[in-house]
Amino acid sequence: MRKNAVRFVLMAMVSATVFTGCKNSKGTSNISRATGMKINNKAGGFQYNTNFKEQATGPGLVFIEGGTFTMGKVQDDIMHDWNNTPTQQHVQSFYMDETEVTNIMYVEYLYWLNSMFPPEDPKYRKIYNGALPDTLVWRNRLGYNEVMTNNYLRHPAYAEYPVVGVNWIQAVQFSDWRTDRVNEQILGDQGFLERDASIKSMDIKAPFDTDVYLSQPEKTYGGGIDSLTGKRGQQRRDTTTVNTYAGRTSGVALPDYRLPTEVEWEYAALSLVGIRNYNTYRGKKKYPWLGEYTRSGRRKIKGDQLANFKQGKGDYGGIAGWSDDGADITNQVKSYPPNDYGLYDMAGNVAEWVADVYRPIVDDEANDFNYYRGNEYYKNNIGPDGKATIVSVDSVTYDTLSNGRIIARNLPGALAQVPVDESDTYLRTNFSKSDNRNYRDGDFSSSRYFERFFDEEEENEDTNKVMYNAPKHTISADTLGNMIREYDKSTQRTTLIDDEARVFKGGSWRDRAYWLDPAQRRYLPQYMATDYIGFRNAMSRVGSKSKKKKTPRG
C-alpha cells in the first residue's frame, strides 16, 4: 500500500514536469505558457535567456537600492535662495560610479578617439578637438597656475585625480562612449565578438555602437561584423555557418552609462541607509557622513578632515603637517572615507554635473517618481528601405556652442536620431512633444504674461514674453568661413536661466563647507567648463529593486 502511494506521487511529479516544463532558479519556464512550445529549441524557434538572474554590476559602479527620501534643504536656508525647498521623492534602484571620472579614464577616451578618428585627417579633426577638456580653466589673472594648465590632464602624477575642464555636453558624450566600450568588452568576454574587436575595428574606422548592435546587428562595425564575430556568435546549421547575435532578450548588454539625475545624485550622496531604523530615518543628515562637523570623530583619525574643501579665506588645505586635508587643489580619488553606500568624494574634491536642466523649483506636484527635468524624446531616423539610418563620416552633425566651440553631436557608426513627431504623440496623455525641458515652468503660460485663452501661433511669435529670457550669444560664419562671435548686449535680459542651464551638485576644493550639503544646487550653461566641476556616471537597474530578498523579521 505504501509502495503504491510512493509510486503515485512520483508519477504525479513527472506529469507536472511534462506539463509545466523545466524551470531555472528564478522560476522562468523553458516551456511557453502562451503556446506550450519549447523555448530555446536547438532546431530554432523562439530564443530567450530563461536563466537570467540579475543585472551584472558594470565596471566602476556601486549598487544603490532605491527608496523614498526628502529631497532638498533640511537645514536652515541661510542664503534664502529658495531653490531647494524640501520635497518627498522616490528613486528607483540604480548604479553609480564609486569615484568621480578620473584623468586616466578621460585620457583613455581621448586615446580611443585619436586612434579611431585621427585629428590629422581633416574630416575627423573636429571630432577629436571637440572632446578635449579646456585646460585653460586653471589660469587666473593674479595667480600662477601654469603647472596645472600644462600637466593636470595627462601627467601620471594626476592620473587618479578627477578630470575637470569638461563641460556638460562633453560629459554626456564620454558616457555614451563608455557604454559602447563596456558592452563591446562584455560581448567579447561572452564570445559573441572577438576579444580584441575594439582594437581591430580601428583599422576599418567603424566603431561598435550598442544601439546598432541591438537593432541591426548585421550593420555593426560598418557592416564588417562578420570578420569580428566570436565563436559563440556563430552557429552551425546544416552545411552553413550563420551569425547569432546577443539581442535584448539575451540580457548580455548593460543599460547606458549616463549622468545621474539630480534626485539620484542627492539620494546617493545623503546615504540615508546609514541612519535607517526599520521604516524610518533617524534624524537628518547635513553631510554625506553622519554628524554636524567636517572632521572625523573616530579615535584613530580624530580631527582629520572628511572632505577636500576650502576651509576659509586663503585656506585651501589647512596648516601644513597638522590641520591639513591633504590637498590644495583637487586630490586623488579615495583619499577620504566613503559614505555608507561606498561612494567616495560625494562632498568636496570637485562638484559634479548632473543630467537636469536647472529650474528654481522642483515640481513635485507634477511628478514625485524618478524626477528629472530635461527629457527630449527622439526616435530612429528610418530610411527609404524601412531601416534605421546609420551615421556616416559625411553625415556627422556638429553643434557650434555659444562660446564658439564645435562639438560633434554624433559619431560615425551610430544610429541617426530625429525628434518624435505628432505621429508618436497623437492622443497620448503622458507626453505631447519632443522637448519637455520647460514643461510647466518657463513656457508662455507660466510667465507673467499669462492669459487663460491664447493662440498657440501667438505664443511662438512673441518670444520676448517668456519667463526665462537669458542672454543669447550667437555664432555665425562669413563667406570665407571665419567665425563671427556676437555677444548679446541687450539690457532687457533678466535672468541667466534657460533650457541649457544645467545643475551641478556638491562642494569642491574651491568651496566653503556650506556647499558640501548634498541638498545644495547650482547651475551653469552646459557649454561652460571650470577647474572645479567634474562628473561621475550612473546606470539604471533593470529588474528587481533589491539585490537581497527581504525576509520577515522575527
What are the pLDDT digits (tens) for 183-200?
Answer: 999 999 999 998 888 888
Least confident of 30-44, 168-182, 408-422, 472-486: 472-486
pLDDT of residue 234: 80
Cα distance between residue 114 and residue 207, in whole Å: 13
Instruction: Write out pLDDT tens, residues 23-70.
Output: 554 557 789 999 999 998 877 788 898 889 899 999 999 999 999 999
Cα distance between residue 321 and residue 222, in whole Å: 57
Please give the average per-residue pLDDT across 463-482, as a whole number: 77
pLDDT of residue 20: 41
CA atoms within 13 A on the CB side of 475: 11
Q: Is the pLDDT of residue 478 over 80?
A: no
Q: What percent of the chain has pLDDT over 70?
A: 88
pLDDT of residue 12: 45
Least confident of 82-86, 126-130, 516-520, 525-529: 82-86
Cα distance between residue 117 and residue 222, in whole Å: 14
Looking at every residue in the chain, the average pLDDT score rounds to 87
pLDDT of residue 11: 47
pLDDT of residue 29: 76
Return the top range by mean pLDDT from 228-242, 293-307, 351-365.
351-365
pLDDT of residue 9: 44
**More confidently predicted of 542 and 279:** 542
pLDDT of residue 452: 47
Q: Where are the domains of the chain?
A: 1-53, 191-251
pLDDT of residue 77: 73
- Give the three-class secondary structure for 22: coil
Residue 202: pLDDT band with limits 50, 70, 90 = confident
Q: Is the pLDDT of residue 433 over 50?
A: yes
Q: Is the pLDDT of residue 8 over 60?
A: no
8 A C-beta contact, residue 412 and residue 391: yes
DSSP string, 428-440: -SS--SSB-TTTT
Q: Is the pLDDT of residue 150 over 70?
A: yes
Q: Is the pLDDT of residue 460 over 70?
A: no
Q: Is the pLDDT of residue 261 over 90?
A: yes
Please give the average per-residue pLDDT across 517-536, as a whole number: 96
Residue 162: pLDDT band with limits 50, 70, 90 = very high
CA atoms within 13 A on the CB side of 437: 15
Residue 253: pLDDT band with limits 50, 70, 90 = very high
**More confidently predicted of 141 and 447:** 141
pLDDT of residue 73: 79
- For residue 180, the surrounding DSSP H or E stretch is helix 168-189
Residue 450: pLDDT band with limits 50, 70, 90 = low
Q: Is the pLDDT of residue 16 over 70?
A: no
Q: Is the pLDDT of residue 493 over 90?
A: no
Cα distance between residue 386 and residue 4, in whole Å: 63
Residue 13: pLDDT band with limits 50, 70, 90 = very low
Cα distance between residue 416 and residue 379, in whole Å: 8
φ, ψ of residue 376 in degrees (nearest 5): -130, 115
- For residue 393, what are the CA distances in angstroms to 245, 312, 410? 26, 51, 10
Cβ-defined contacts of 267-270 (< 8 Å, 24+):
267/64, 267/66, 267/67, 267/69, 267/71, 267/89, 267/91, 268/64, 268/96, 268/341, 268/343, 268/346, 269/339, 269/343, 269/346, 269/347, 269/505, 269/506, 269/518, 270/69, 270/518
Least confident of 39-43, 246-250, 318-322, 428-432: 318-322
pLDDT of residue 237: 66
